[in-house]
């Protein structure tokens, strides 16, 4: 078997007759003319395409950081989790997150409505495909978020809201139990310590679809998969011949679009040609319009060989997201005033699972965003042993009047 490298993804084919794309309004124009123009200019499809651009750029950054390693990410999950957080951002933090998430052109209400519409559509689109999307916001006892923020995540994102004592191990068990249920037991753990956090926002995505045209297990054979020029590994290679595949190729790649169920969901498989790499192809995808790629598929007779595979992926996304321009959100300069004062993102963590075989594909992903207080360390109890030189001030609380100031170097002097 010739040297190959495989890059694949789940893609969505949905008719958008009611939301035809328009030319995006420049961010500077939106800022100058106000949110009303932004809302009018933003169709749901534009917001979806912006999320795709963010997703491909994120995956490109992750691939650059770990060349030669497997990678499986749900851009939908990451985008939904960060969009919930984005609802609380203000000032420079809001500007940075807009740019990183490719949302500069859109008014916040339009973004939230598009997210809600996409979730409703995906989960009901194909009765032959199981598609679930769930959100949750876990709150420490010590934080009181803005009521408007809680209303948004509850009403627009259908988020489950729960109060937890993050200092107790039971909180970890509660979060992981939610993740396990939301991913249909495919991911059973995402956190192992919540101490120091005051909020955890989570999104989970689950997909299970049978191929419209299943692979015949009797045709599956062991064959070498060329990992590199000098290394191959044995895999179970499925095969299928049909009169009409959805296919295209150019000087860099071959691509086939394999449908699930009623052909609303597909897996697009991209095979770089000899001398080309998945990394170069991914960079190309990150810089181009995904919609233009999907328009290139056309009917063609042929044969497809595809390996069976199953993998898990886990990655902390702080570095990649900072590289996309939202580094300020992780620092003491972060502003999430529409959630609460003095908040910053502590971490963004993503975990995923996928299994591809003759029958179809099962996949799940979860993204969690941990939020911390920036100004002071949050502790429930402390130990302060005044056993060395110290200062003290006697003052009146309401007026702030300082009555006495002292420095004790030796209490016995």
Tell me the pLDDT tens digit for each residue of 329-386.
999 999 999 999 999 999 999 999 989 999 999 999 999 999 999 864 444 444 455 4
Instruction: Looking at the structure, tell me whether residues 143 and 228 fall in a common domain.
Output: no
Q: Do residues 343 and 303 both lie within one domain?
A: no
CA distance 403 to 396: 7
Q: How many domains does the chain have?
A: 2
At residue 40, what are phi and psi to the nearest 5 degrees? -70, -30
195 shares a domain with 297: no
> With contact defined as beta carbons under 8 Å apart, do 231 and 93 qualify?
no
Res 214 pLDDT > 50: yes
**Residue 381: inside a domain:** no
Residue 232: predicted pLDDT: 85
Residue 236 lies in a domain: yes
Residues 317 and 299 in one domain: no
For the entire predicted model, the pTM comes to 0.83
Q: What is the residue range of 242's domain?
A: 217-259+266-275+293-307
C-alpha–C-alpha distance, residues 373 and 143, integer Å: 10
Average pLDDT, the chain: 82
CB 153 within 8 A of CB 161: yes
**SS in 3 state form for 156-208?**
CCCCEEEEECCCCHHHHHHHHHHHHHHCCCCCCCCCCCCCCCCEEEEEEEEEE
Compare 203 and 285 and report the one with higher pLDDT.
203
Q: At what angle do helices 75-86 and 108-124 cross, to 10 degrees?
A: 140
**Which residues are CB-neighbours of 315 under 8 A, at least 6 positions away?**
62, 73, 349, 350, 351
Residue 156, pLDDT above cutoff 50: yes
**Same domain, residue pair 86 and 151:** yes
Per-residue pLDDT tens over the stretch 67-121 = 888 888 999 999 999 999 999 999 999 999 999 999 988 999 999 999 999 999 9
Q: Which of 53, 52, 49, 43 is nearest to 22 (CA)?
A: 43
Least confident of 17-26, 130-139, 338-347, 384-393: 17-26
Query: How far apart are the C-alpha atoms of 337 and 116, rounded to whole Å?
Result: 23
CA pair distance 104, 234, nearest whole angstrom: 46
Residues 193 and 322 in one domain: yes
Do 155 and 233 reside in the same domain of the chain? no
């Amino acid at each position: 078997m010739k040297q190959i490298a495989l890059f694949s993804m789940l893609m969505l084919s949905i008719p958008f007759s009611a939301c035809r794309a328009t030319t995006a309004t420049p961010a500077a124009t939106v800022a100058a003319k106000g949110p009303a123009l932004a809302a009018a200019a933003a169709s749901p499809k534009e917001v979806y395409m912006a999320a795709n651009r963010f997703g491909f750029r994120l995956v490109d950054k992750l691939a650059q950081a770990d060349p030669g390693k497997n990678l499986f990410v749900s851009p939908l999950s990451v985008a939904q989790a960060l969009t919930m957080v984005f609802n609380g951002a203000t000032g420079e933090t809001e500007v940075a997150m807009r740019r990183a998430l490719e949302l500069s052109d859109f008014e916040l209400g339009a973004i939230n409505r598009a997210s809600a519409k996409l979730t409703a559509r995906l989960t009901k689109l194909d009765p032959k495909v199981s598609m679930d999307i769930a959100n949750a916001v876990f709150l420490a006892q010590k934080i009181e978020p803005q009521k408007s923020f809680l209303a948004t995540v509850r009403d627009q994102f259908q988020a489950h809201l729960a109060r937890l004592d993050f200092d107790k191990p039971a909180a970890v068990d509660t979060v992981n139990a939610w993740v396990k249920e939301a991913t249909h037991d495919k991911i059973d753990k995402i956190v192992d310590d919540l101490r120091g956090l005051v909020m955890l926002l989570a999104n989970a995505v689950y997909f299970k679809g049978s191929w419209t045209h299943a692979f015949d297990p009797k045709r599956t054979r062991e064959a070498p998969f060329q990992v590199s020029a000098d290394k191959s590994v044995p895999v179970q290679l499925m095969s299928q011949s049909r009169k009409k595949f959805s296919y295209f190729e150019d000087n860099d790649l071959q691509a086939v679009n394999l449908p699930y169920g009623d052909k609303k969901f597909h897996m697009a498989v991209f095979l770089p040609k000899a001398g080309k790499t998945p990394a170069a192809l991914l960079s190309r995808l990150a810089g181009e319009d995904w919609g233009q790629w999907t328009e290139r598929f056309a009917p063609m007779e042929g044969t497809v060989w595809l390996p069976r595979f199953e993998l898990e992926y886990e990655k902390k996304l702080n570095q990649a997201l900072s590289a996309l321009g939202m580094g300020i959100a992780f620092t003491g300069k972060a502003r999430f005033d529409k959630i609460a004062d003095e908040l910053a993102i502590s971490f963004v963590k993503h975990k995923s699972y996928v299994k591809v075989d003759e029958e179809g594909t099962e996949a799940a992903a979860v993204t969690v965003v941990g939020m911390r207080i920036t100004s002071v360390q949050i502790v429930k109890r402390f130990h302060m042993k005044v056993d060395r030189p110290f200062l003290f001030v006697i003052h009146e609380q309401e007026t702030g009047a300082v009555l006495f100031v002292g420095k004790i170097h030796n209490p016995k002097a």
